[in-house]
């Protein structure tokens, strides 16, 4: 059964390593027959949450920037995948800011159930991704109908393009194909 999939790449570098993981996930999901949209946060205007909680009544943010329409798309997707570089053992600031700005979804009838994480880092240790996983799981725990359905981590990649030939690209493709 075809699903509506939204892939959000939070890399500030277009074509960066986590962005290439997002592309592999997209290809896998498309090959499996899913409807897939990818949004790159690079170059978009996403401000910080003001904590006003107006969105809990309106299901829309009072800040009219790119995070507003992205959150609306997130709420309508059945599957979400987030791609992030790992900075200081956590998700990128761009991803964290978007998750904060997705607060209007909390009181909405969101559709997503499965959430995936694709992450790349210079550090190779398998625990390098743990902070990003914990952060995303914290966000997911606020959406009781959803779950972290899978994670792919590419360690040992720094410069853009270094991920070429890394097994994580194949893993991201297969994860997308098997959603």
CATH code for the domain of 97: 3.40.50.360
Residue-level pLDDT at 2: 94
Q: What is the mean pLDDT of the chain?
A: 96
CB-CB neighbours of 3 under 10 Å? 18
Among 15, 18, 164, smallest CA distance to 91 is for: 18
In the chain, the number of structural domains is 1
Residue 31 pLDDT greater than 90, yes or no: yes
Among 69, 78, 86, 76, smallest CA distance to 21 is for: 86
83 is written with which tokens? 């791609």
Give the single-character DSSP code of 55: H
144-170: pLDDT as tens digits? 999 999 999 999 999 888 999 999 999
> Which residue segment(s) compose the domain that 153 sits in?
4-177
pTM, entire model: 0.96
Beta strands in the chain (DSSP E): 4-9, 35-40, 79-85, 114-121, 147-155
Burial classification of residue 161, based on how many CB atoms lie within 10 Å of its CB (0-12 exposed, 13-18 middle, 19 or more buried) = exposed
Among 60, 70, 46, 140, smallest CA distance to 108 is for: 60
What would the DSSP string read from start to end of 96-145? HHHHHHTGGGTTS-----EEEEEEEES---GGGGHHHHHHHHHHHTTSTT
Task: pLDDT band for 15, please (50, 70, 90 cuts).
Answer: confident
Distance between CA atoms of 86 and 5, rounded to whole angstroms? Answer: 23
Task: pLDDT band for 46, please (50, 70, 90 cuts).
Answer: very high
């Amino acid at each position: 059964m075809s699903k509506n999939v939204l892939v959000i790449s939070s890399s500030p570098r277009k074509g960066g390593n986590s962005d290439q993981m997002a592309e592999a996930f997209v290809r896998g999901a498309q090959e499996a027959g899913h409807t897939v949209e990818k949004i790159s946060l690079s170059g978009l205007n996403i401000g910080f949450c003001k904590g006003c909680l107006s969105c809990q009544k309106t299901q829309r943010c009072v800040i009219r920037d790119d995070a507003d329409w992205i959150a609306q798309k997130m709420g309508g997707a059945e599957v979400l995948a987030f791609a992030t570089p790992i900075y200081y053992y956590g998700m990128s600031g761009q991803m964290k800011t978007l998750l904060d700005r997705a607060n209007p979804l909390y009181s909405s009838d969101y559709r997503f159930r499965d959430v995936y994480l694709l992450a790349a880092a210079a550090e190779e240790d398998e625990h390098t991704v743990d902070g990003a996983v914990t952060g995303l799981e914290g966000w997911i725990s606020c959406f009781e109908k959803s779950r972290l359905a899978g994670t792919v981590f590419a360690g040992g990649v720094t410069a853009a393009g270094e991920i070429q030939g890394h097994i994580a690209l194949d893993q991201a493709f297969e994860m997308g194909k098997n959603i």
